[in-house]
Amino acid sequence: MRILVVGSGGREHAICWAISSSPLLTKLFCAPGNAGIEHEAECISIAADDYDALIVFCIDKAIDFVVIGPEGPLVDGLVDKLGNVGIKSFGPTAAAAVLEGSKVFAKDFCIRHNIPTAAYARFDKAETAKAYISEKSLPIVIKTDGLAAGKGVFIAETITQAMEIVDRIMIDRVFGESGKEIIIEECMIGQEVSFFALTDGEFVLPMITAQDYKRVGNGNTGPNTGGMGACSPAPIIDDFLTTKIVSEIINPTIAGMAAEGRRFRGVLYAGLMITDTGPKVIEYNVRFGDPECQALLLLLKSDFLSALIAINDGKITNVRLKWNDDIALCVVMASKGYPDFYEKNSVINSISEIENDDVVIFHAGTSWDRERRLLATGGRVLGITAIGKDITQARKKVYSAINRIDWPEGFNRNDIAESALNL
Ligand code: AMP
Ligand code: GLY
C-alpha cells in the first residue's frame, strides 16, 4: 500500500517509524516530514495545512491511505476533504474533531453525557468572566475556546493574574478568534495521565497509557510546553483504574459522539486528572500525543499499519494489539529558550553513532543544510527514546545517550519519570 503521513514532529516520525516495518507497505511518503523522517519515508515539501496540494499529491501518487498526525488538519476537515475525492484516511471528521477544536463544546459535551470533568463556566464577555473570577477560590484555570498551539491554558494563582489573563485573551486577542470565548474552571489536583483508544466510532480498543511531563523545567517548574518527556505505561495506572476510565469516560465519549451524529473514528486521546474522587477529563484530543506517541509506539509489537487499516475498514473487532511488557521513556531535547523565544539553525553534531537497537532518536524540528549538517529548526527538536525492563533501566539508556549528544544550544529535563521511581 502507498501511504502518506501528514505532519513534521516527533509524533509523525514515530508513526513513520512504526509504519515502515509493515508488511502491507509498498511506499511511504511524509508531508512535510523532517530530517529524521527521511530515513523511513520520502519527504515531500507540502505543508500539513496546504490541503489542496495534499489532495492533488494523493491523487497523483495513487495514495491508498493517509495518516494525519496533528490536530489542525483534523479540525479543518482534512479527513472529509480526502473522503470527498475517495481517499481513505485515519482520523476523525471535522464534526468529530470539534472535541479538541472547541473546549466549550468538549466541556458542554461532558455535562450532556455525565462524563466527569472539572466544574466550569463559559464566557464571551470579559466583564462577566472577571465578575465570576472574583467570587471563586484560587488557583483558577482559564482556557481559550479554540486551538492555541498548546498555549491557551493558564493556571492563575492570584486575582490580578487572572484578570490580566482574561484581558490578554478577550480584549487584546493574543490568540485571535480562539479567544472569542473562554472557559473558567476549577483547578483539579492529582496526577495527569494520557489515555489513548483506537475507535471506529462504535467499538473501542484501548491502547496503553502514558504520562506526559508538560512543564519546561525539572521538578515540574516553569511554563507549560507541548511535552518535555513521556513514560509509557503511565506509572500510576493499574487495571482497576483502566477499567474505570474506559467505562466512565472513554465508552460514554464514543457513544455520546455517535448519538450526537458526530461518529468519532481515529484515536481518542483523553487527557485525564486522577483525582481523589476518581479520573476526570482535563481535555480531549483527537490525535496521538507528542511525545507520548514516541514512547507508546516503541512498545507496540503488533503491526501498526494493519491495525489502522482494519479499523478504517470497520474490522476493529478483529484487531488485537500486543504490547511489550517493559517501560518506554522519551526525553525531549529542545532549543534553549523554548517554549518562548529560541534561536534557529544551531548545529547538532553526530547523533547517528548514538542510535542503536536500544535507543531510537525521533526527530521533530530538524533539517539538513547543504553540507548535510543536522540543524535544529524548531522548539522541540529530538526525542531520545528507549525501552527498559523498568524505569531505572530505561532512564539509564536514555540519559546516557543524551550525555553523548553534542548540541550546546539544546537542553532537556533531567528528571523524566524520576518521581515514579518512588511509587
Ligand atoms: P489542556 O490543554 O486543557 O490539556 O491543559 C494543559 C494543561 O493545563 C493540562 O495538561 C494540565 O496540566 C493543566 N490543566 C488544564 N486544566 C486544568 C484543571 N482544570 N485543573 C488543573 N490543571 C489543569
Ligand atoms: N503531549 C501533549 C499533547 O500532545 O497534546
CA 298 to chain centre: 16
Q: Residue 18 above 80 pLDDT? A: yes
Q: What fold is seen in the domain 327-420?
A: Glycinamide Ribonucleotide Synthetase; Chain A, domain 4 (3.90.600)
Binding pocket residue ranges, ligand 1, CB within 6 Å: 118, 141, 143, 153, 155, 185-188, 192, 214, 224, 271, 282-283
The ligand placed nearest to the CA atom of residue 189 is 1
Return the DSSP state at 339.
T
Q: Residue 351 above 90 pLDDT? A: no
pLDDT in tens, 54-92: 999 999 999 999 999 999 999 999 999 999 999 999 999
Q: Which one-letter amino acid corresponds to residue 204? A: V
Using pLDDT thresholds of 50, 70 and 90, give the confidence band for residue 124.
very high
- In percent, the amount of the chain with pLDDT more than 70 equals 100
Average pLDDT of the residues in 39-43: 98
Average pLDDT, the chain: 96
Residue 151 grid coordinates: 498555549
Instruction: Name the residue at shortest CA distance from atom 3 of ligand 2.
Output: 289
Average pLDDT of the residues in 193-211: 97
Average pLDDT of the residues in 167-173: 95
User: For the chain, where do the domains classified as CATH 3.90.600.10 start and end?
Assistant: 327-420
- Give 392 Cα–ligand 1 centroid separation in angstroms: 28
The ligand placed nearest to the CA atom of residue 224 is 1
Instruction: Name the residue at shortest CA distance from atom 4 of ligand 2.
Output: 289
Using pLDDT thresholds of 50, 70 and 90, give the confidence band for residue 105.
very high
Is residue 16 within 8 Å of 41, Cβ to Cβ? Answer: yes
User: For the chain, where do the domains classified as CATH 3.30.1490.20 start and end?
Assistant: 125-180
pLDDT in tens, 256-300: 999 999 999 999 999 999 999 999 999 999 999 999 999 999 999
pLDDT at 224: 86
User: For the chain, where do the domains classified as CATH 3.30.470.20 start and end?
Assistant: 191-318
CA 79 to chain centre: 18
**Alpha-carbon span 414 to 3, nearest angstrom:** 37
The class (CATH top level) of 125-180 is alpha beta
- Give 170 Cα–ligand 2 centroid separation in angstroms: 25
The ligand placed nearest to the CA atom of residue 120 is 1
User: For the chain, where do the domains classified as CATH 3.40.50.20 start and end?
Assistant: 2-93
Average pLDDT of the residues in 338-355: 91
The class (CATH top level) of 2-93 is alpha beta
pLDDT at 236: 93
pLDDT at 422: 77
- pTM assigned to the model: 0.95
Average pLDDT of the residues in 146-162: 89
- Residue 212 alpha carbon, nearest atom of ligand 1: 10
Residue 373 grid coordinates: 549538517
Q: Pairing between strand 2-7 and 65-68? A: parallel
**Alpha-carbon span 189 to 236, nearest angstrom:** 15
What ranges in 167-303 are assigned the alpha helix state H? 239-245, 251-259, 292-299
Average pLDDT of the residues in 20-31: 98
pLDDT at 227: 95
Site to substitute for ligand 1 among 99, 155, 185, most atoms within 8 A of C-beta: 155
Average pLDDT of the residues in 234-250: 96
Burial of 240 (0-12, 13-18, 19+ CB in 10 A): exposed
pLDDT at 77: 98
Where on the phi/psi map is residue 261: left (φ > 0), alpha (ψ -120 to 50), or beta?
A: left
Lowest-pLDDT range, 1-15, 105-119, 142-156, 220-234? Answer: 142-156
Q: What fold is seen in the domain 191-318?
A: D-amino Acid Aminotransferase; Chain A, domain 1 (3.30.470)
Q: Residue 332 above 90 pLDDT? A: yes
Of residues 412 and 179, more confidence is placed in 412
Angle between helices 126-135 and 159-166 (to 10 degrees): 160
Q: Residue 239 above 90 pLDDT? A: yes
**Alpha-carbon span 153 to 388, nearest angstrom:** 34
Measured CA to CA in angstroms, residue 404 lies from 105, 355, 368, 399 at distances of 46, 10, 20, 9
